[in-house]
Amino acid sequence: MFPTWIFQALFLHNWETSLFWFSLDLSGNKFHGGLPQELAKLKRLRFISFSFNRINGKIPSWFGALPNLQELLLENCSFTGSIPPSLSNISKLETLNLKSNLLESMIPAEIGDLHNLKRLVLGENNLSGPIPASIFNISTLEAAAFTSNSLSGNLPANMCRHMPNLKSFSVAFNQLHGHIPSTIDECLKLQTLAFEYNQFTGPVPKQIGNLSMLEILYLGNNNNLKGEIPAEVGYLPNLEILSLSADGIRGPISSFIYNISTLQELYLDENNLTGNLPTDICLRLPSLQGLYLSANKLAGSNPRQLGNCSSLVEIYMDENMLTGEIPSEIGNLLNLEILVYDKNQLTGDIPATIFNISTLTTLSFYGNHLMGSLPSTVGEGLPNLVELYLGRNNLTGPIPGSISNASSLISLDLGGNRLTGLVPNSLGELKFLEFLNIAINAFTSESSDMSFLTSLTNCMRLKIMWAANNLLTGYLPDSIGNLSSSLEQIDMSNCGIKGSIPKEIGNITNLAFLYMDNNEVTGSIPTTIKGLKNLQQLSLLGNRLSGPIPDDICHLFSLGELTLSKNKLYGPVPACLGNVTSLRYLRLDRNELNSSIPLTIGGLRNLLTFTLFSNFFSGVIPPEIGNLVAVTSIDLSLNELSSGIPTTIGGLISVVSLSLAQNRLQGPIPDSISTIVSLERLDLSHNNLTGVIPKTMDALQYLKYLNLSFNKLTGEIPNGGPFAHFNYQSFISNDALCGPPRFKVPACLSDSHNHHKSRRGQFFVSY
């Protein structure tokens, strides 16, 4: 709440003085609670700011009782509800700032009665409906900001007629539609114009070129704009920022853009631009600081002259079709902070000069065809580097130990290269490191205990560590439990890891993803795993783990994936797994598990994949399996399950693939299987099923694969629906099936003939 002592000081101890106050500024104090109505008595107040507090509730209507108020600043106060129309009573108001609240409903038309208003800031709320026409009649208005709301409707065709003093107009991030008014040039004093992220249609009016004072023009992300960007934009003598992102622009970059010699930032990303960058770009745009050309179809090589753009601070050229080598002249850009060339087709070495741009904070060449090795002094010239993304290239050689000199690094991605040698322990000197990707290389470890992991315990902010697909071949050290308490992801699959999983792994309490697939890990799953309360995915596929699945896994109530396939685990599946209702993927196949499938499995209503194939499960398929209404894939094949297929199988309404093959199942195929309309693959082969194939199965219109072979089925093979596309291999080695010749079974006899012959014991012929 607002401390009572403040208002006691105002109204009790200094009442006579407070009546003559002109200014009240209580901004940025994190106060919360309501505002006392007694403030309405301070009639001489000209300035009020409660910005950056947590007042909550509605904006008090009594603000309208302050006749001398000129500035009302209520930014970021968590106000809810609508804007009170009573604010229009503050006839002398010049500034109204309600930015970054939770205001809803429409903007009251009464705001247009504020005939002295100069600055109206309503951005970052949940306001809806059109901008009232009355606002466009406030002739004193200099700045109007409606950014980031849900405003709709059109802008008035004559929006500028009564606003000759307007300098800044922003409606970005709304749902406005219709045409951009062609009379926009009547706002002769405009310096900032932001229309981006709306649904404007029609052409960009060429009259924008008459706004000689315009410095900032945002037109991006209006995909419904038609026609070319008018060449008149190139006549704007003071334009510094031009945004035409995601406007559906095709072809080469328009030449008129290069006439705007004052341009500092150019946004043309997410279009369909083609062609090459001009070699004289730096001569024509000498003030350029930001070049944003991501996600286009630009081709050719980078002009060496780009190194002459001495003012450049940010370059984004990712997701294009650029080829050739990176020009070493880029190293001359001594003010460069961000250099991004992801997902192009660049070749050759990364010039050593780039690693000496001391101002760089982000360097990214991810997803190219770059070769060569990292310079031995790689980190020494990059003291400010925060992000280094060189993954998915063809880089070779080691990671130089000097990488630790890039002491500001937060993200380091070297994955998907051909790097070799030791993983340097100096990585542990990167105190701010949060993301480390060295996966898919040929790294080795300095010692059998993977000492680099111990060094990483010094990276106390580390959140993600990917080291999969390397040649580390060693044992996990007990110190793995000392890794950052912020660590969320570990992927060390396909690394040749030996030995057991240290019990200390349970100390990484924030871990959400643990992947150690396809290693040589032995021993049992440590019971300390129950300490990983935030674990969402656990995958230990393809190891040599033995022993039972510990009940401790049942304490992981956030677990969405449990993959223990292809190990040597034995014993029953813990019944308590049915309590882990967050599970979506349960893969326990190719182990030595036995006993029966627990009935509690039916509690996993969010399960999508359920595989137990190639184990030693016996007993019945529990009827509760029909409760798995979300599951899309079930494979219980290659076990010793017996008895019949439960009729509840029809409850699997989302199943696409179902395999119960190579068990000891008996009895008929239940008619209820025909209700699984989503079914595409069904394998019931190699069992002891009897009876007829339900004719209702011809309703399974999406069924593409069916295998009922090696059973004891009899009667007619259905010929409708999906059966029209199956061949004889789906039905071989049954007792007495009949049907069309293409199934290579005898023809079915007519009812009367069948009845006659059956008396002589000649019903059907086995195949």
Say if residues 428 and 458 touch (Cβ distance below 8 Å). yes
pLDDT single digits (tens) 458-475: 999 999 999 999 999 999
Q: Which helix (H) or strand (E) holds 605?
A: none
Write 543-546 long-range contacts (CB < 8 A, 24+): 543/516, 543/517, 543/518, 543/519, 543/567, 544/520, 544/568, 545/521, 545/569, 546/522, 546/570
How far from each other are the two terminal CA atoms of the chain, in whole angstroms?
Answer: 86
CA 428 to chain CA centroid, Å, is: 29
pLDDT for 446 equals 73
Q: Which of 101-115, 144-158, 416-430, 744-758 has the lowest mean pLDDT?
A: 744-758
Number of Cβ within a 10 Å radius of residue 595: 15
Q: What is the mean pLDDT of residues 280-300?
A: 96
pLDDT single digits (tens) 644-696: 999 999 999 999 999 999 999 999 999 999 999 999 999 999 999 999 999 99
pLDDT at 486 over 60: yes
pLDDT single digits (tens) 65-98: 999 999 999 999 999 999 999 999 999 999 999 9
Alpha helices, H only, 221-286: 281-284
pLDDT at 220 over 90: yes
pLDDT single digits (tens) 509-544: 999 999 999 999 999 999 999 999 999 999 999 999
- Quick check: helix, strand or coil at residue 429? helix
Q: What is the mean pLDDT of residues 202-218?
A: 96
Q: What is the mean pLDDT of residues 277-302?
A: 95
pLDDT at 767 over 50: no
pLDDT for 378 equals 94
- Which of the four pLDDT bands, split at 50, 70 and 90, describes residue 16? very low
For residues 672 and 346, what is the distance between their CA atoms, to the nearest angstrom?
58
Write 573-578 long-range contacts (CB < 8 A, 24+): 573/549, 573/597, 573/598, 573/601, 573/612, 574/549, 574/550, 574/598, 575/599, 575/600, 576/551, 576/600, 577/553, 577/601, 577/604, 578/602, 578/603, 578/604
382: nearest Cα among 400, 413, 349, 404: 404
Contacts of 351 (CB under 8 A, 6+ apart): 326, 327, 328, 330, 331
Instruction: For the chain, give the mean pLDDT.
Output: 94
Burial profile 476-491: b = 16 or more Cβ within 10 angstroms, e = fewer: bbebbbbbbeebbbbb
pLDDT at 113 over 80: yes
Which domains are present in the chain? 372-521 (3.80.10.10), 594-767 (3.80.10.10)
Residue 532: CA atoms inside 13 Å, Cβ hemisphere, count? 27
Q: Which helix (H) or strand (E) holds 77?
A: none
For residues 620 and 269, what is the distance between their CA atoms, to the nearest angstrom?
60
- Token pair 């040649």: residue: 471
Number of Cβ within a 10 Å radius of residue 16: 7
